[in-house]
């Protein structure tokens, strides 16, 4: 017997009866539950104005109690809304203050940065001026030496002395 045949045999001999047994149990349970609920009469509230209803004073008292509870709940809701509004207002005010403080700090930092950048630019320009001055002095000296040497070379050429 192959393993496939063994599984089919096991399914036919064990699982199918087990499923059938479970279905019978479920139907029996539903049937018993249905009988248990239909044996007892349903509880009904008596109609107002009948002998089984509560006296008018109790009904009025219950209505007043319910009204005061509704009024109390309304007051609590109003208080809660008012507190929420105050909290929101406070939060918005704090956020505005924090935003203003942040903008002020950013402006101060930007001012310091601009000042530092100006100082650095000034230092750079001074260095550039000094370097240009040195360069021009050297260029002038080199030009003067070149002219002097050129003049000497021309003089030497025309004087005939070597």
Q: Is the pLDDT of residue 160 over 60?
A: yes
- Between CA 58 and CA 46 the distance in angstroms is 15
- Between CA 52 and CA 45 the distance in angstroms is 9
Average pLDDT rounded to a whole number, residues 27-42: 58
Q: Output the pLDDT for position 115.
A: 94
- Between CA 56 and CA 50 the distance in angstroms is 11
> Side-chain half-sphere of 156: how many Cα atoms within 13 Å?
7
Q: Output the pLDDT for position 2.
A: 72
Residues 73-130 have pLDDT tens digits of 888 888 888 888 888 888 888 988 999 999 999 999 999 999 999 999 999 999 999 9
- Between CA 79 and CA 87 the distance in angstroms is 12
Alpha-carbon Rg for the chain, nearest whole angstrom, is 54
């Amino acid at each position: 017997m192959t393993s496939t045949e063994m599984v089919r045999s096991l399914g036919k001999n064990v699982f199918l009866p087990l499923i059938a047994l479970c279905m019978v149990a479920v139907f029996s349970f539903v049937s018993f539950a249905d009988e248990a609920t239909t044996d007892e009469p349903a509880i009904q509230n008596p109609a107002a104005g009948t002998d089984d209803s509560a006296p008018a004073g109790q009904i009025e008292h219950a209505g007043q109690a319910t009204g005061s509870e509704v009024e109390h709940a309304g007051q609590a809701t109003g208080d809660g809304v008012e507190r929420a509004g105050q909290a929101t207002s406070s939060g918005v005010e704090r956020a505005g203050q924090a935003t203003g403080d942040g903008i002020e700090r950013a402006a101060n930092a930007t001012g310091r940065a601009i000042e530092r950048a100006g100082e650095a630019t000034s230092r750079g320009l001074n260095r550039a001026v000094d370097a240009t001055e040195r360069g021009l002095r050297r260029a002038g000296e080199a030009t003067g030496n070149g002219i002097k040497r050129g003049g000497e070379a021309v003089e030497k050429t025309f004087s005939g002395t070597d």
